[in-house]
Structure 1
Amino acid sequence: MHRKRPAGRWPAALAAAAAALILTTSCGSPGSSGSTGNKASDPVKVGLVYSKSGPLATYGKQYLEGFQAGLDYATKGTGKAGGRTIEVHQADDAGDPAKAVAATKDLIGQGYDVIAGATSSGVATQVSPLTEQNKVLFLSGPAATDAVTGAGPYTFRSGRQTTQDINTAAAFVGDMKGKKVTVFAQDNAFGQANVAGVKAVLEPQGAKVAPLLVPAAANDFTPFATQAEKAGADMMFVAWAGTSAKAMWTALGQQGVFDSTKVVTGLDIAATWPSYGKVAQEVDFLAHYFAGAAGTEAEKAMTERVTKAGGEVGLFTVDGFTAAQMIVHAAGQGASADEMAKALEGWSFEGVKGKLTVRAEDHALLQPMFQARLKNGTPPTAELVKKLDADAVAPGVVEK
């Protein structure tokens, strides 16, 4: 069931390095983990390897709160799946792939059945080969990298992926044939990855994609905003991270970029919303999720549980909730990794965002996405523009 990945999704060097890591450091031989010898009466041992600390700690906190709410919801408060008690152990990877691999190896050695979490893409691409080698179920979390989809028979995801983000952005424009797209981003690994992602998704649709990369150390964004305005693109996809965001958005507004170009970016956690300043209402946002976006029964249940526990629903709360739903379903259908994986393949269920489907061919999680706007205020608030059906933003199938 291992699948051939499209070019550009997972460079050969990374795949080779990951394979070498597994062959030299994995715990036991393939299939030697405790998951293959489980009995129906044994507990389901779930290891959450996520960013409890580090730069993505806020994402990790949302994921954990969502997972706890989802576990209560999916088990109807029993903490059991198919009569088996679900035991959860948390491990902090601090966003460091090396720490994540070490924690995962330890949990596999202890016979854990499921590894979940993966707040960052760098973690997900290192943990997946390790769980595949040892035949342990892996549910990646907020990590958006397309590389998780189609990675192997035991690798799944509970969040969205980059292609779904970009397809949601493209929906603001419509037919992309002949359209000019500028990717406005920092000239670093994050920015370059976004350029590659937009090219990979939109150029086959007929768009002409050009990067406009800004030096990561820049603090005067006027020259780059001027270039963006002169580019005359039909859509400008902005990928930005860090404390310079407010100055960057201000420069785009001052140079009139919004007057001639549809500017689209991803809606991040609520703490970042004030950084858009005066241009907040001029930006079109693709949204994986924001509190209140879906209007589903599962969303209501999640919100009630999270707030009752003292938390606050945010961008990645839904990923944890969905992971718990998937684990409870899988564990209720079988004890081995093969049985659990089979139970998930092709499964459709009602999640927070609406109807979700685990695509059998490559384990993509087909799901609705959202378009949003920010309303000025203290603090700003998000409002729904449109909910896009899962099929409208679905990634292409990863070939076997």
Structure 2
Amino acid sequence: MSERRLHGFAENAGFSRRVFVASTVAAALLAAAGCSSPQEAAQGTGGDGAPVKVGLVYSQSGALASYGKQYIDGFKAGLAQATNGTNKVNGRAIELLEADDAGDPAKAVSAAKDFIGKGVKILAGSASSGVALQVAPVAAQDKVLFISGPAATDGVTGVNRYTFRSGRQSYQDVLAAKSFIGDAKDKKVVVFAQDSAFGKANEAAVTAVIGGAGAKVSAILVPASATDFTPFASQVNAAKPDLLFVAWAGTTATAMWGALDQQGVLGSTTVVTGLDQKASYPVFGAAGEKISFLSHYFDGATSNDAAKAASAKITGGLDLFSPDGFNAAQMVVRAIAEGGDDVEKMVGALEGWSFDGVKGKMTIRKEDHAMIQPMFQVKLVGSGAAAKPQLVKELAPEEVTPPAVAMK
């Protein structure tokens, strides 16, 4: 699992250490939540005919630019779908203002404040967790709606009543990893990662979630300077884990996977890592077919109406964070349709709302604004440029529902 990619459990901000409170029963939540289509939401009331400005602050450059491209393409496809191609809600045009945060929280905060000064009451975007955690307090201070994007940190959930998310969070990733071993009680889980902040954050995440479910978690942390991974692969074999969770960053990934394969690790235990964007598939080489992948999304994971609509509008098809942008646009349309220019009404309109997204049924939990959603088990078929993901199992929202947190 790449550090650069936000599928990592603690990208930028580190794994959330917040105290979790009792979780709302997912099935009851899904049954009770209001549900409507984006098109129905666009027929809401309110508005004086003036355009509605929406500020999109996301990565157009920098390390996360590819994720930002996926997000904005998804957003524009979702906006077209939710407004029947008009980009209007209740007769009011939606005016998009875009700014590049380059993955820099300071730039993001500056852009957000600039947009707010121009009368923007809805902000969206952020691929970086560090960015999301800095923009969220600005939204609360100025009482504007903020819909965070692919940023994975658990810290965004429940951070304040004005902040929502359109993607998944780290806890859902870890629960997806846990699904590969079923009941975790007394299972041996080893985290294989680099000896860095990123690696240690992943160790902490797995310890908290899977270890908290009764597994015995240990870690093999490899120096970032290592080029020979055979000794570390031997340590894995000696540990005889029921699950090996791999979190890796950088250019040594192919060599690392090759060593695990050559030493028989991939054939002796369940090896799980996260599936990144399309461009990353070749990095696994011949080892790819022996790895179990947890997935937020991949092109072809679903074939519902939203996925078909998004795919038809995005050149090159969908990718990892296309659903996050698509969801955000649907949420923006819902907020405007039901709230007009009243941010408090926008918040109320989104809390508890269920809608059909690219991934399937999405529900915004009222208590803390977590996005309850499916996740996926995936395998890669083929290697190199021919590697393609194939769905193994869709994990129902209730299987990967994070515990609720107290709203700050």
- Structure 1 length as normaliser, TM-score? 0.88
Residue 401 (structure 2) aligned to one of 382, 386, 394: 394
The question of 1:343 aligning with 2:358 is answered no
Q: Per-residue displacement from partner, 1:287-336 (whole Å, max 9, x unpaired)? A: 000001012111000000113xxx43111111111100111011110122
Residue 332 (structure 2) aligned to one of 319, 324, 327: 327
Q: 3-state SS of the aligned residue for 2:210?
A: helix
Q: Does the 8 Å CA contact 1:82/1:333 hold for their aligned counterparts?
A: no
Residue 391 (structure 2) aligned to one of 375, 381, 384: 384
Give the whole-Å Cα distance in 1 for the aligned partners of 2:289 and 2:98.
39
Q: Offset at 1:82?
A: 2.8
Residue 179 (structure 1) aligned to one of 164, 187, 194: 187
The question of 1:365 aligning with 2:368 is answered no
Runs of 4 or more, structure 1, over 4 Å off, are none
Question: In the alignment, which residue of structure 1 is the partner of 2:79?
Answer: 71
* 1:197-208 alignment, distance < 5 Å: 197-208=205-216
Higher relative contact order (CA 8 A, sep 6+): 2
Q: Offset at 1:8?
A: 6.6
Q: Per-residue displacement from partner, 1:340-375 (whole Å, max 9, x unpaired)? A: 111000000111111110000100000011110000
RMSD of equivalent CA atoms = 1.7
Q: 3-state SS of the aligned residue for 1:372?
A: strand
Q: How many residues align?
A: 366
* 1:1-150 alignment, distance < 5 Å: 9=16, 40-150=48-158
Q: Per-residue displacement from partner, 1:25-57 (whole Å, max 9, x unpaired)? A: xxxxxxxxxxxxx95433221111111000111
Q: 3-state SS of the aligned residue for 1:248?
A: helix
Q: Offset at 1:254?
A: 1.2
Give the whole-Å Cα distance in 1 for the aligned partners of 2:85 and 2:15.
43
Q: 3-state SS of the aligned residue for 1:220?
A: coil
- The amino acid of 2:85's aligned partner reads G
Give the whole-Å Cα distance in 2 for the aligned partners of 1:11 and 1:125.
14
Q: Offset at 1:10?
A: 5.4
Unaligned runs of 5+ in 2: 1-13, 20-45
Give the whole-Å Cα distance in 2 for the aligned partners of 1:189 and 1:115.
30
- The amino acid of 1:325's aligned partner reads Q
Give the whole-Å Cα distance in 1 for the aligned partners of 2:90 and 2:346.
12
372-381 vs 51-60, greater mean Cα deviation: 372-381
Summarize the Cα distance change of 1:40–1:244 in structure 2 as closer, same or farther, 3 Å threshold: farther
Q: Does the 8 Å CA contact 2:15/2:201 hold for their aligned counterparts?
A: no
Give the whole-Å Cα distance in 2 for the aligned partners of 1:113 and 1:170.
39
Question: In the alignment, which residue of structure 2 is the partner of 1:20?
Answer: none
Give the whole-Å Cα distance in 1 for the aligned partners of 2:304 and 2:254.
34
Unaligned runs of 5+ in 1: 1-6, 13-37
96-105 vs 295-304, greater mean Cα deviation: 96-105
Q: Does the 8 Å CA contact 2:192/2:245 hold for their aligned counterparts?
A: yes
Q: Does the 8 Å CA contact 2:47/2:90 hold for their aligned counterparts?
A: no
Question: In the alignment, which residue of structure 1 is the partner of 2:3?
Answer: none
Give the whole-Å Cα distance in 1 for the aligned partners of 2:169 and 2:370.
8
Give the whole-Å Cα distance in 2 for the aligned partners of 1:370 and 1:262.
16
- The amino acid of 1:100's aligned partner reads A
Q: 3-state SS of the aligned residue for 1:130?
A: helix
Q: 3-state SS of the aligned residue for 1:279?
A: helix
Q: Offset at 1:379?
A: 2.3
The question of 1:260 aligning with 2:268 is answered yes
Give the whole-Å Cα distance in 2 for the aligned partners of 1:263 and 1:82.
51
Q: Does the 8 Å CA contact 2:150/2:321 hold for their aligned counterparts?
A: yes
- The amino acid of 1:56's aligned partner reads L
Give the whole-Å Cα distance in 1 for the aligned partners of 2:185 and 2:310.
40
Question: In the alignment, which residue of structure 1 is the partner of 2:223?
Answer: 215
Give the whole-Å Cα distance in 2 for the aligned partners of 1:357 and 1:205.
25
Q: Offset at 1:155?
A: 0.6
Give the whole-Å Cα distance in 2 for the aligned partners of 1:222 and 1:131.
49
Give the whole-Å Cα distance in 2 for the aligned partners of 1:54 and 1:268.
17
Give the whole-Å Cα distance in 2 for the aligned partners of 1:110 and 1:223.
58
- Structure 2 length as normaliser, TM-score? 0.87
Give the whole-Å Cα distance in 1 for the aligned partners of 2:314 and 2:362.
21
The question of 1:233 aligning with 2:241 is answered yes
Question: In the alignment, which residue of structure 1 is the partner of 2:6?
Answer: none
Give the whole-Å Cα distance in 2 for the aligned partners of 1:312 and 1:39.
35
Give the whole-Å Cα distance in 2 for the aligned partners of 1:8 and 1:250.
28
Q: Does the 8 Å CA contact 2:165/2:370 hold for their aligned counterparts?
A: yes
Q: Does the 8 Å CA contact 2:190/2:241 hold for their aligned counterparts?
A: yes
- The amino acid of 1:97's aligned partner reads P
Question: In the alignment, which residue of structure 2 is the partner of 1:313?
Answer: 318
